[in-house]
Amino acid sequence: MRHGQVPRVPPGLASISLVDLSGEATVAYTPLGLLYLKASLESDVSVADRVRVTVHSFLAGTSLVRMIEAIEAARPDIIGLSCQGWNVAVYRHMLPTLRQLLPGAVIALGGNHVSGQGLRWLAQVPEADIVVSGEGEHAVRELTRWLLDGTPALSDIAGITYRQDGKVVSTFPRPRIESLDEIASPYPPPAGIGLAGMDVALWETNRGCPYHCGFCHWGDAVGQKITRTALSRLAAELETIGRAGIGTLFLCDANFGILPRDIEIARMVVNARRRFGAPVTLHVNWAKNHAGRVGEILDILRDGGVQTNVYLALQTLSRPALRLAGRDERGRPEMMDLGRKILRQGGKAGVELIFGLPGETLDEFRGAYDELFLSFPSLLLHPLWILPNTAYDTQRQDLGLVTVRPDPLVDYEGVLSHHTLSRQGNRAGLRLLLADDILVGTGYARTTIRALARWTGKAPTQILDAFADFVAARDDQLSRQLASAFSEIDAECYFHRHLRSAVRRALFADRESTLKLLQAFVDASADSPAVRGACGELARYDTALLPRADLHGTGEADEILLAAFDTHAIGLALLSDAEPPQPPGQQPVRIVIRHRAGFARHRSDAIDISARWLGRVIHVSPAA
């Protein structure tokens, strides 16, 4: 469709290639958005028997030529690419070649990252013909009819931006879908056949979010009414996913627990687990202020043997930052209480924070970290990205935002500085995030650092800062690798995603040097011999639990750790909200740790691997 020409209409049949490039390299997610589009086309009687829809779902890191060859083989008339910040830059490298190979194909961009940004993307991607904003189910059907029948005209298709006679034209916005039942299910029973080999099923029970947070763009649906799928259809979708044996279900809802019926949905997930043995794990974005219902759902999942993550979505403890983000504090104390209750009962709960929010200073962020680190076993920290279509994106001047986009592989725009964060402050905060990821996020020193903070009286952030200085002053290979990650943060003032995999690769390569480094850091950090000794034992315990990259294949392997005291019990106490234990005396124990094989394949995943691959303590007994 060069320069506004209507494309050559293929006789009879249209081949539609829908393309998704995942953000993850080893974990296979179902490409949910595209499954909706495919289902929509295949259930539309006006086109169903005239289209052949191919969904190309690629893992991150797939070579350009492999992707191009797969798409070329489908001989598409329309190529629809699903765009997120993590894949648009790659598409830009891929499209010039696709355009040469398939000169007549219509190239359409859709998805979160380009939605509402048609002018920008048509200017930046000369090969693209159309940008689709908002939900795509109706748009893709109408585009296919336009291609096959010439009607509707492009100008009558809502929510698109396209080229015409050397100009760029945008049509009127498309109203949101009123009920998800009006579009076809992405997981109809026969689709189950194509789901084999998937690790994670993305799933939606509703779309939309009634809030409007300044940093967030949740599928064009923030500040919007919540649209739902009927429970009966959800049950059928769960059956398809369960029968396909997909172990992890990832809920794309913005706030699970916001609707009373979410309790029923939790029961349905438990039911699927019981009937099909899957899903075993449910990942959720929890509603931020419905503690009572969230608590009830957690009980249902726990009793039904479905594992889940509990991260309280606090994002910040700073009142000015909350105000600027348009979030209020309603329900927060109740959520914090719920988190503490879960910990008291022996469960796991963490907190999510964003670093770099306008309105918050570095000192406030450090204060929040110090307070929360000692109360919760894990903190999930994100550097702020300025996402398209957010309030921050449009309020740059008021917030004094200066941004940076140094990563040629992703299109996330980082913060360089703003009114409450200087460039140096930003560097210090990002260094802290990296130190947290190395020492806590990976599991490397998660109880050791807590013990050091408790028993030396130092603030956790002080210990993290000291670790960055410590590795910078050493000359062993591991220290040099970690120090170079800190140097990269300093140089770029940006948290490159590849840093997470780089530090994991370094840490998991050789457990002996990993332990040696941690013990040397403990020795340098604690004056009291009793504290040094006890933290040194915890360092042995933490590193013994690290994922084992040397166990190949499948299955499990046990290893024995002899410790001077029950490091497992002390570790659990340090990770709970209970009164902190004192450094214990000598009481030797034998700890049996069970590891899963197969981690080598996941060594460089950018997402949190700790929960799935850390060793499990299965037995502790007094050492003979």
22 binds, among ligand B12, ligand SF4, ligand SAM, none (CB under 5 to 8 A by kind): ligand B12
352 binds, among ligand SF4, ligand SAM, ligand B12, none (CB under 5 to 8 A by kind): ligand SAM
Nearer to ligand SAM, 187 or 385 (CB): 385
Nearer to ligand SF4, 209 or 372 (CB): 209
Question: Contact positions toward ligand SF4, by CB under 6 A?
Answer: 209, 211-213, 216, 218, 222, 254-255
Question: Read out DSSP for 134-154?
Answer: S--HHHHHHHHHHHHH--S-G
Contact window for ligand SAM (CB under 6 A) among 69-77, 384-392, 430-438, 592-600 = 384-392
Scored b (16 or more CB within 10 A) or e, 328-362 reads: eeebbeebbebbeebbeeeebbbbbbbbbbbbbbb
Secondary structure letter of residue 209 according to DSSP: B
111 binds, among ligand B12, ligand SAM, ligand SF4, none (CB under 5 to 8 A by kind): ligand B12
Question: Residues 38, 56, 138, 288: which binds ligand SAM (CB under 6 A)?
Answer: 288
108 binds, among ligand B12, ligand SF4, ligand SAM, none (CB under 5 to 8 A by kind): ligand B12
- Can residue 205 be called a binding residue for ligand SAM (CB under 6 A)? no
CA 434 to chain centre: 17
Q: Are 365 and 460 in contact (CB under 8 A)?
A: no
- Can residue 238 be called a binding residue for ligand SAM (CB under 6 A)? no
453 binds, among ligand SF4, ligand B12, ligand SAM, none (CB under 5 to 8 A by kind): none
Strand order in the sheet with 311-315: 311-315, 350-355, 378-383
- Can residue 378 be called a binding residue for ligand SAM (CB under 6 A)? no
Task: Tell me how many helices (H) and strands (E) the chain has.
Answer: 22, 21
349 binds, among ligand SAM, ligand B12, ligand SF4, none (CB under 5 to 8 A by kind): none
Question: Residues 55, 105, 183, 216: which binds ligand SAM (CB under 6 A)?
Answer: 216
- Can residue 285 be called a binding residue for ligand SAM (CB under 6 A)? yes
71 binds, among ligand SAM, ligand B12, ligand SF4, none (CB under 5 to 8 A by kind): none
Distance between CA atoms of residues 377 and 614, nearest Å: 14
Question: Residues 384, 489, 526, 593: which binds ligand SAM (CB under 6 A)?
Answer: 384
384 binds, among ligand B12, ligand SAM, ligand SF4, none (CB under 5 to 8 A by kind): ligand SAM
Residue 51 has φ and ψ, to the nearest 5°, of -120, 150
Question: What sign for the dihedral angle of Cα 483, 484, 487, 492?
Answer: negative
Residue tagged 């990269």 (tokens): 488
112 binds, among ligand SF4, ligand B12, ligand SAM, none (CB under 5 to 8 A by kind): ligand B12
Nearer to ligand SF4, 310 or 574 (CB): 310
Residue tagged 């000291």 (tokens): 466
222 binds, among ligand SAM, ligand SF4, ligand B12, none (CB under 5 to 8 A by kind): ligand SF4
Nearer to ligand B12, 78 or 589 (CB): 78
User: What is the maximum alpha-carbon separation in the chain?
Assistant: 85
Number of residues engaging ligand SAM in binding (CB under 6 A): 15
Nearer to ligand SF4, 240 or 285 (CB): 285
- Can residue 315 be called a binding residue for ligand SAM (CB under 6 A)? yes
Question: Contact positions toward ligand B12, by CB under 6 A?
Answer: 22-24, 29, 32-33, 36, 80-82, 84-86, 108, 110-113, 132, 135-137, 139-140, 202, 204, 216-219, 250, 252, 382, 385, 387-388, 497, 606-607
Contact window for ligand SAM (CB under 6 A) among 59-67, 69-77, 215-223, 415-423 = 215-223
57 binds, among ligand SF4, ligand SAM, ligand B12, none (CB under 5 to 8 A by kind): none
SS3 504: helix
Cβ contacts of 163 within 8 Å, gap of 6 or more: 1, 3, 4, 122, 129, 169
Distance between CA atoms of residues 286 and 254, nearest Å: 7
Minimum distance from residue 343 beta carbon to ligand SF4 (Å): 23
Distance between CA atoms of residues 610 and 528, nearest Å: 31
What is the helix (H) or strand (E) element at residue 18, kind and residue range? Answer: strand 14-21
Tokens of 105: 């194909």
Nearer to ligand B12, 219 or 583 (CB): 219
Secondary structure letter of residue 12 according to DSSP: S
Minimum distance from residue 607 beta carbon to ligand B12 (Å): 5
∠ Cα 46 47 52 (to 5°): 165
- Can residue 114 be called a binding residue for ligand SAM (CB under 6 A)? no
Question: Residues 249, 387, 515, 593: which binds ligand SAM (CB under 6 A)?
Answer: 387
Nearer to ligand B12, 341 or 497 (CB): 497
Nearer to ligand B12, 112 or 417 (CB): 112
388 binds, among ligand SAM, ligand SF4, ligand B12, none (CB under 5 to 8 A by kind): ligand B12
Scored b (16 or more CB within 10 A) or e, 274-286 reads: eebebbebbbbbb
End-to-end Cα distance, the chain: 78
Question: Residues 313, 379, 544, 614: which binds ligand SAM (CB under 6 A)?
Answer: 313
Question: Residues 284, 354, 379, 614: which binds ligand SAM (CB under 6 A)?
Answer: 354
- Can residue 206 be called a binding residue for ligand SAM (CB under 6 A)? no
Cβ contacts of 226 within 8 Å, gap of 6 or more: 206, 207, 208, 209, 210, 258, 259
Distance between CA atoms of residues 215 and 537, nearest Å: 42
Length of the chain: 624
Q: Return the axis-axis angle of helices 446-456 and 460-472, rounded to nearest 10°.
A: 110
Tokens of 327: 């979030």
Scored b (16 or more CB within 10 A) or e, 75-95 reads: ebbbbbbbbbbbbbebbbebb
137 binds, among ligand SAM, ligand B12, ligand SF4, none (CB under 5 to 8 A by kind): ligand B12
Nearer to ligand SAM, 36 or 218 (CB): 218
Distance between CA atoms of residues 537 and 533, nearest Å: 6
Scored b (16 or more CB within 10 A) or e, 172-195 reads: eebeebeebeebbbbbbeebbeeb
- Can residue 215 be called a binding residue for ligand SAM (CB under 6 A)? yes
User: What residue ranges bind ligand SAM (CB under 6 A)?
Assistant: 215-216, 218, 254-255, 285, 288, 313, 315, 352, 354, 382, 384-385, 387
